[in-house]
Amino acid sequence: MIAIADGEPHAHDRAATLPPARLPVRGDGAPPDGEANVEVARPTSLAEAAEAVTGSGRVLLRGGGTKLDWGAPAEGVERVVDTGGLNRMVRHDPADLTATVQAGVSLAELQAELGRSSQWLALDPPLHDHAGRAATVGGVVAAADHGPRRLAYGAPRDQVIGATFALADGTVARTGGNVIKNVAGYDLAKLLCGSLGTLALIVDVTVRLQPLPEASATVGVHTTPAQAHRVWLAVSDAQLEPAAADHVADLGSGDQAGWLWLRFDGSETVVTEQARRAATLAADQGLETTTPEGPLWDDTLMSSLAGGADETVVAISTVPNVGSRVAATAARAAADAGVEARCHSHVALGLHRVVVAGGAAADHAAVVAALRADGHRAELRRRVAGVDDHTDAWTDGPLPGAWPLMRAVKQRLDPDRRLAPGRFLGGL
């Protein structure tokens, strides 16, 4: 039986106790706009966590509060369960490259702690939202957020090897284990990743870790979105291995030209050589290259992905080689609606974020509609108030064929539909 640290470290652990995670800026724990008279529970142990999700009310789970508006608005929330009190590192085994961390620990603090052993959890989503609230590990997993280096290291689902969770009926259970290689039983952690708090309260996750790269080098190539994909293929065919390949463009210019940033991680001499070879490849194609000024990956691009206070972020998923259509469609729609937009693409993965600013909520919704009309899956992330009055957060079209299976899973795990009802795809 795998023992669970119920708020206490294992006796034999090299346990690290992290300071409590920062609470969201709305200090009294008020839930999303428009809700009043909502109680807030802040469990500090596994038992309290299980207790907190039971009962009869509709529950919204909250970590740092940085992604509360992902998915559709939850219906009639009566209680918020805040994970800020689940803020301990349960175990860190550097020699085994694994760690178990409670859901309320901020990702930034986790990385700082792991960094002391020259390791990291290989996820680089925005660590803070526009208001400075810190993203928690539980929230990153529940939202399946990711960053540019997903190209090399994968998404949250590829890092989580185990999880402890509480169901709406108070059942506490564990999935996976403490070892990276494990196929015993169903991989329920996959269901939890991206479930936006609609299936269970994630109490802790066990994750695989990576050694911190010694060095990093970045080259920028000036390209249109279509050229960006071709450059990525050329770089990959040349057997260069970028950790990230992100194209960022303001969509005001005619051809959506912007910068393709290629990041290489590894030993100092190796990354310098890789970046040089990539720059040469680009120059051979007649493309302008540059090196970044300032904290590109940690700052500029993170803000771009997270979106600002008055911006709507739309997450689009395509097959990589048609990704350029996203920028083109978004540019046209933004021009029609009289709003500003930029597009941030993980070129090799076909994952894009179109960020819309200015104008009214209806204009932002119009951009979303245009992207969907062009055949792309486009889901809302953070957004300005009112967008939900004009468009569904998930889709305009038919639900995926597998949706009845998703509903069946939801019904088995949350039969009374109390965990963020209505938040998930198809109103689950």
Partner 1 sequence: MVPTALVDELATIVDERGLITAPEQRATYECDGLTGYRCEPGAVVLPTDAEQVAAVVAACARHDTPFVARGAGTGLSAGALPHPDGVLIGLSRLRRILSVDPANRRILVEPGVTNSEVSAAVGPHGLYYAPDPSSQIVCSIGGNVAENSGGAHCLKYGFTTNHVLGLEVVTPDGEVVWLGDGGADPPGYDLRGLVIGSEGTLAVVTKVWLRLLARPETTRTLVADFASPTEGGHAVSAIVGAGIIPAAVEMMDNLAIQACEADAAAGFSTDAGAALIVEVDGPAAQCDADIARVERLCRDVGASHIRYANDPGERARVWRGRKAAFAAMGRLSRQYFVQDGVIPRTKLGQCLATIADMAAEAGLRVANVFHAGDGNLHPLVLYDDRVDGEPERAEKLATAIAELCVELGGSLTGEHGVGADKACSMPKMFSDADLDVMARVRTAIDPHGLANPDKILPTPRLCGERPGPYRPHPLEEAGVIERM
State which of positions 214-253 bind partner 1 (CB under 8 A).
214, 229, 233, 236-237, 239-241
For partner 1, the closer CB: 134 or 189: 189
Which residues 364-383 are close enough to bind partner 1 by CB under 8 A? Answer: 377
Q: How far, CA to CA in Å, does 141 sit from each of 97, 101, 159, 366?
A: 19, 12, 9, 30
The CA distance from 358 to 252, in Å, is 13
Q: Is the dihedral of CA 39, 42, 47, 53 positive or negative?
A: positive
Q: What is the closest distance, in whole angstroms, from the C-beta atom of residue 401 to partner 1 in the complex?
A: 4
62 forms bridges with which residues in the sheet? 82
For partner 1, the closer CB: 130 or 190: 190
Residue 233 CB coordination number (10 Å)? 14
- CA-nearest of 283, 280, 240 to 151 is 240
Which residues 85-144 are close enough to bind partner 1 by CB under 8 A? Answer: 93-98, 118, 144
For partner 1, the closer CB: 300 or 321: 321
The CA distance from 267 to 213, in Å, is 7
Which of residues 110, 406, 419, 420 is near partner 1 by CB under 8 A? 406
For partner 1, the closer CB: 77 or 351: 351
- CA-nearest of 129, 133, 109 to 121 is 109
Q: What is the closest distance, in whole angstroms, from the C-beta atom of residue 205 to partner 1 in the complex?
A: 15
Place of tokens 């998404």: 155
Backbone angles phi, psi at 415, to 5 degrees: -60, -30
For partner 1, the closer CB: 136 or 274: 274
Which residues 33-72 are close enough to bind partner 1 by CB under 8 A? Answer: none
For partner 1, the closer CB: 358 or 427: 427
Which residues 343-362 are close enough to bind partner 1 by CB under 8 A? Answer: 348-351
Which of residues 155, 301, 302, 330 is near partner 1 by CB under 8 A? 155
Radius of gyration of the chain, Cα coordinates, nearest whole angstrom: 21
**Span near partner 1 by CB under 8 A; candidates 75-83, 292-300, 319-327, 335-343:** 319-327
Which of residues 57, 75, 112, 182 is near partner 1 by CB under 8 A? 182
Residue 411 touches partner 1, criterion: CB under 8 A: yes
How many helices (H) and strands (E) would you count in the chain? 12, 18
Residues binding partner 1: what is the number (CB under 8 A)? 82
Residue 236 near residue 169, CB atoms below 8 Å: no
What is the crossing angle of helices 324-337 and 225-237, to 10°? 160
Residue 1 touches partner 1, criterion: CB under 8 A: yes
Residue 17 touches partner 1, criterion: CB under 8 A: no
> For 345, left (φ over 0), alpha (ψ -120 to 50), or beta?
beta
Q: What is the closest distance, in whole angstroms, from the C-beta atom of residue 180 to partner 1 in the complex?
A: 5
Q: What is the closest distance, in whole angstroms, from the C-beta atom of residue 93 to partner 1 in the complex?
A: 7
- CA-nearest of 247, 246, 243 to 225 is 247
**Span near partner 1 by CB under 8 A; candidates 73-81, 337-345, 383-391, 402-410:** 402-410
